[in-house]
Amino acid sequence: MENIQVDALVVGGGIAGMQAALDLADQGCQVALVEKEPSIGGKMIALSKVFPTLDCCSCITTPKMSAVAHHENIQLYTYCEVQSLAQNGTGYISKVLQKPRYVIEDACTGCRQCEYECPITVPNAFDSNLGGIRAIRVPFSTAVPQIAVLDMETCLFCGICEKACPADAIDYSQTAEEFEIEAAAVLLSTGFEITPPDAKKEYGAGELHNVIDGLIMERLLAPTGPYGRILRPGDGKEPESIAYVQCAGSRDETLGVEYCSRVCCMYAIKQAMLISGSLPLADITIYYMDIRAFGKGYEQFFQNAKAMGVEFIKAKVASIKQDENQNPVLRVELMEEGSRVEERTHDMVVLSVGLLPAYNPQAVYGVPVEDDGFVDIPAPNASPCNTNRPGIFVTGTAAGPMDIVDSIVMAGAAAAEAVAYIHEQEPAGSVPVPAYAD
Amino acid sequence: MATRIDPTLLYEIKEYGAVGIEKCFNCGNCTAICPLTSDEYPFPRNMIRRLQIGQRDKLVQHLDPWLCYYCGECSETCPKGAEPGETMMAMRRWLTAQYDWTGLSGKVYKGKGWIIAMLLVAAIVVIGLAALLAGPMVTSQVELNTFAPVHMIHIADLILAAALGIFLLSNLARMYFFVFGKEERQGIPLKIYLTGAWTLVFHTITQNRFSECEDSKRRWTNHLIIVAGYGTMFALIVVFLGWFQTDNIYPIYHPQRWLGYLAAGALIYGGVEAVLGRIRKEHEMHKHSHPSDWLFPILLVLLSASGLTIHFLRYAGLPMATYYAYVAHLVIMMMLYVTVGPMGKWAHLLFRPFAVYFQEVKAKAAQLQRETPAEAVASAAD
């Protein structure tokens, strides 16, 4: 079994993991970054723009993805999963499973000939299943690495891709392989999932045609999105009235989620602004319990949205039904208008779904989670990146709901903590001095 | 007008069985999900807010708790688990105590000790009266009307009914004065009270508003069965006792028998169903039952069961057992009325239909006000 020795193992290649890996590598550490998907980039690479600056998401994420791939101190392992972790002195040794792409990684040039020829189209998970993608494909246009991956579940073994590949990279008989990574420190950046569409039966349990979640709207807004414009998925109509339902997955005991997800207010406001740009005549209404615009520049951002004509209505949406034209009908108490209960019809509803923990590291890493499912941080004020095990750090939304700004800040903090730990454990001189220190 | 704020109100209502009012963050989910809420009576959030900030004067005027039939949707979907449905229930108890001028209602609702004391008083009074006034116990055969002469019992029944009526109607009057302010009362012509009266009759008989509660058909049916059984039995005992309590043994097809069986059967079936619901706790309404919620159906079942027992012991020809069962039956009846009677849960039989009626009167008065200038209303009321 192949054995790789590094200073730090970073688990998860979203924005937090990439940033932590880059910060570690820039400080002279050897880093292995393990990502379970075929490409790094995480959730952020699928987003349209970021709040509160409205900068393009790809413009921030793709340079970091490339930097990770090309950094001399970073070894990137995509489509891999950490199977187990064992104590190894003061460090850790982990078994990692390389899942088969059915494409020889060293041979593939990312030319996408296989993808163009493949006759099978499947829903594109990167576009929240709105558009289609081939059974063999490069995951998305800016994927890193640019290596094709074959979805064996839907493949017909027609052999067309094998013939089309100019590099003879297709290998239907590829199998999973295990290898070991020895690292002095481990960083968990396993990220989040969003509230599942069927979580709340009062909101149609995912059955209503024109009720989507915030991530789907991100794809509709993104320049690389499935339609290239905003259309409601039920019948392709251009929506004239769009409603946001806040706290559709957070601060709700009936869903077992009592915490605030911290990003939903801001992404709803951001999306409302972006929709105002692409559909200038559309009415946009945000139904909220409280607007939590807590970060630097966030309150101004909220005020700007109001000034732009986005309507904010203080009301918790109790239920969403659908009329005969597939229009979602919301039932709310208009508490600022004499507590009148009203049914309000919109063309499309966006659920501002919350952030849920994506992964429980207890079984593999021996790191417990708190009641909310996020990684337990024993001393959140004194050492916010430390888990219960020395040498295992946590960063990004694995630690709790947070936005991109906070994820990047925390990634830097976790990298700094990890470097200090690595220096403590290893004899002086064994960790190279950063290049910039010369 | 100045509004008085009473910070202790929240804790007072909690003593009436409300759980989790302080958790409420006023999102309005409960009101929006409620199938019975209306523009004039938007509940429960509006009321819970008043409760949180302690608007005692405003709350005592509220009809809202009586217009809620506890379908439980609000509690099921409340994002804070603040149990708005149970708060409405507690508000009904609290309002009953506010309407009650004797002050006993609040004490019995708030303290288990008071319930036990009232039960004991009922037992002592009835057994004492029986010891003083009962006729001879004929042991050769069952002669109930010798032991408890029907004309005396009938007089006692009428006295009891009158007492119940006095307490109930005086409390109802207080409810009326709370709900309608002085100016409002002057603005409502008698005609409106009369034309709205049909609502009162209709809702007393059908409890129709209950059936509009979502997924509550079963509870509504069960409630109808109890009301029908109770109404029949009340008439038999208070009005037709001379015909109903007899030493004659009738054939099974005689109305004295089958009417009694039907009414007692309905009460036992409905009462047991209500108790089982509280044991199973499947419905939202049954998750936080207050002692008074248990006591009412249990006493109803015991009352009907002891009544049937008297009947069967009499038919079996067991004189002493019949007489003792009879006294036990009276004890249970007295227990029912002193604990959950006109100062308790039983009183809702008047407050609920009257709330619907008052709501209608208010709506008609408001309509009249819109249609005619204020001076005309004032002169019409004179």
Domains and CATH numbers, chain A: 2-98+176-191+358-437 (3.50.50.60), 100-175 (3.30.70.20), 195-351 (3.50.50.60)
In contact, A365 and A389? CB cutoff 8 Å: yes
Q: Looking at beta carbons, which residues of chain A come within 8 Å of B26?
A: 335
Question: A328-334 and A319-322 as β-strands: parallel, antiparallel, unpaired?
Answer: antiparallel
How does pLDDT run across B128-145, given as a tens digit for each residue? 998 888 888 888 888 888
Number of Cβ within 10 Å of residue B274's Cβ equals: 22
What ranges do the domains of chain B cover? 9-99, 104-359
The predicted structure's pLDDT at residue A437: 46
Residue of B nearest to A314 (CA): B27
In contact, A75 and A60? CB cutoff 8 Å: no
B61 vs B183: CA distance, rounded Å: 14
Query: Which among A252, A318, A340 is the nearest to B33, CB-wise?
Result: A318
Complex ipTM more than 0.90, yes or no? no
Half-sphere exposure of B327 (CA within 13 A, CB side): 20
Question: Given a cut of 90, is residue A43 above it in pLDDT?
Answer: yes
CB contact under 8 A, A341 and B76: no
Residue B71 to chain A, least CA–CA distance (Å): 15
How far CA A122 is from CA of A127, A152, A159, in Å, comes to 11, 12, 18
Q: Which long-range contacts (CB under 8 A, 24 or more apart) does B103-108 make?
A: B104/B343, B105/B343, B105/B344, B108/B292, B108/B339, B108/B343, B108/B344
Query: Which among B37, B42, B79 is the nearest to A316, CB-wise?
Result: B79
pLDDT band at residue B315 using 50, 70 and 90 as cut-offs: confident
CB contact under 8 A, B33 and A317: no
Q: Looking at beta carbons, which residues of chain B come within 8 Å of A317?
A: 32
Window from A137-151, A152-166, B187-201 with minimum mean pLDDT:
B187-201
Query: Which among B42, B80, B81 is the nearest to A341, CB-wise?
Result: B42
Question: Given a cut of 90, is residue B219 above it in pLDDT?
Answer: no
CB contact under 8 A, B39 and A318: no
A112 vs A109: CA distance, rounded Å: 8
CB contact under 8 A, A316 and B28: yes
In contact, A233 and A209? CB cutoff 8 Å: yes
Is the four-CA dihedral B229, B114, B170, B362 of positive or negative sign? negative
A348 vs A334: CA distance, rounded Å: 20
Question: Given a cut of 70, is residue A429 above it in pLDDT?
Answer: no
In contact, B95 and B62? CB cutoff 8 Å: yes
Q: Looking at beta carbons, which residues of chain A come within 8 Å of B25?
A: 289
How does pLDDT run across A109-118, given as a tens digit for each residue? 999 999 999 9
Mean pLDDT, to the nearest integer, of A215-224?
Answer: 94
Residue B81 to chain A, least CA–CA distance (Å): 6
Q: Looking at beta carbons, which residues of chain A come within 8 Å of B39?
A: 338, 340-341
Q: Looking at beta carbons, which residues of chain B come within 8 Å of A251?
A: 79
Residue of B nearest to A201 (CA): B77
- What percentage of chain B has pLDDT greater than the value 70? 97
Number of Cβ within 10 Å of residue A341's Cβ equals: 20
B206 vs B326: CA distance, rounded Å: 32
Number of Cβ within 10 Å of residue B333's Cβ equals: 20
Helix (H, G, I), strand (E, B) or coil at A103: strand
Residue of A nearest to B74 (CA): A318
* Best of A316, A320, A332, A337 to mutate (most B CBs within 10 Å, chain B): A316
The whole-model pTM stands at: 0.89
In contact, A326 and A209? CB cutoff 8 Å: yes
Residue A411: which residues within 8 A CB-CB, separation 6 or more?
A: A15, A16, A17, A18, A19, A20, A23, A189, A395, A396
DSSP state, residue A110: -
How does pLDDT run across A392-410, given as a tens digit for each residue? 999 999 999 999 999 999 9
The length of chain A is 438
Residue A349 to chain B, least CA–CA distance (Å): 17
Backbone angles phi, psi at A416, to 5 degrees: -65, -45
- Give the A-side interface with B, CB within 8 Å: 202, 247, 251-254, 289, 315-319, 331-333, 335, 338-341
Q: Looking at beta carbons, which residues of chain A come within 8 Å of B32?
A: 315-319, 331-333, 341
CB pairs under 8 A between A and B: 66
Query: Which among A254, A289, A341 is the nearest to B32, CB-wise?
Result: A341
Mean pLDDT, to the nearest integer, of A426-434?
Answer: 58
Question: Given a cut of 50, is residue A189 above it in pLDDT?
Answer: yes
Helix (H, G, I), strand (E, B) or coil at B111: coil
CB contact under 8 A, A340 and B45: no
B169 vs B187: CA distance, rounded Å: 23
The predicted structure's pLDDT at residue B376: 57
Residue of A nearest to B39 (CA): A340
Fold adopted by B9-99: Fumarate Reductase Iron-sulfur Protein; Chain B, domain 2 (1.10.1060)
CATH of domain B104-359: 1.20.950
Question: Given a cut of 70, is residue A306 above it in pLDDT?
Answer: yes
DSSP state, residue A426: S
Residue identified by tokens 């027992």 is B309
A47 vs B255: CA distance, rounded Å: 78
Q: Looking at beta carbons, which residues of chain B come within 8 Å of A335?
A: 26, 28, 31, 45
A11 vs A13: CA distance, rounded Å: 7
CB contact under 8 A, B45 and A335: yes
Residue B340 to chain A, least CA–CA distance (Å): 34
CA A280 to chain centre: 29
pLDDT band at residue B245 using 50, 70 and 90 as cut-offs: confident
Omega of the bond prior to A280 within 30 degrees of 0, cis? Answer: no
- Give the B-side interface with A, CB within 8 Å: 25-34, 37-39, 42, 45-46, 76-81
CB contact under 8 A, A339 and B34: no
Q: Looking at beta carbons, which residues of chain B come within 8 Å of A318?
A: 28-33, 77
CB contact under 8 A, B26 and A335: yes
Residue of B nearest to A341 (CA): B32
* Best of A252, A291, A333, A334 to mutate (most B CBs within 10 Å, chain B): A333
* Amino acid letter for position A250: S
A72 vs A66: CA distance, rounded Å: 12
Nearest 5°: the CA angle B59, B65, B66 is 125
Question: Given a cut of 50, is residue A325 above it in pLDDT?
Answer: yes
In terms of C-beta density within 10 A (0-12 exposed, 13-18 middle, 19 or more buried), how is residue A416 classed? Answer: middle
Mean pLDDT, to the nearest integer, of B86-112?
Answer: 92
Half-sphere exposure of B375 (CA within 13 A, CB side): 0
Q: Looking at beta carbons, which residues of chain A come within 8 Å of B45?
A: 333, 335, 339
Residue B73 to chain A, least CA–CA distance (Å): 10
Question: Given a cut of 80, is residue B230 above it in pLDDT?
Answer: yes
3-state secondary structure B233-265: HHHHHHCCHHHHCCCCCCCCCCHHHHHHHHHHH
Across A281-295, B133-147, B314-328, which has the greatest mean pLDDT?
A281-295
Residue by residue, DSSP assigns B112-175 as HHHHHHHHHHHHHHHHHHHHHH------SS--HHHHS-HHHHHHHHHHHHHHHHHHHHHHHHHH
CB contact under 8 A, B28 and A331: no
Q: Which long-range contacts (CB under 8 A, 24 or more apart) does A300-307 make?
A: A300/A52, A301/A51, A301/A52, A301/A266, A301/A269, A301/A270, A302/A265, A302/A269, A304/A273, A305/A269, A305/A272, A305/A273
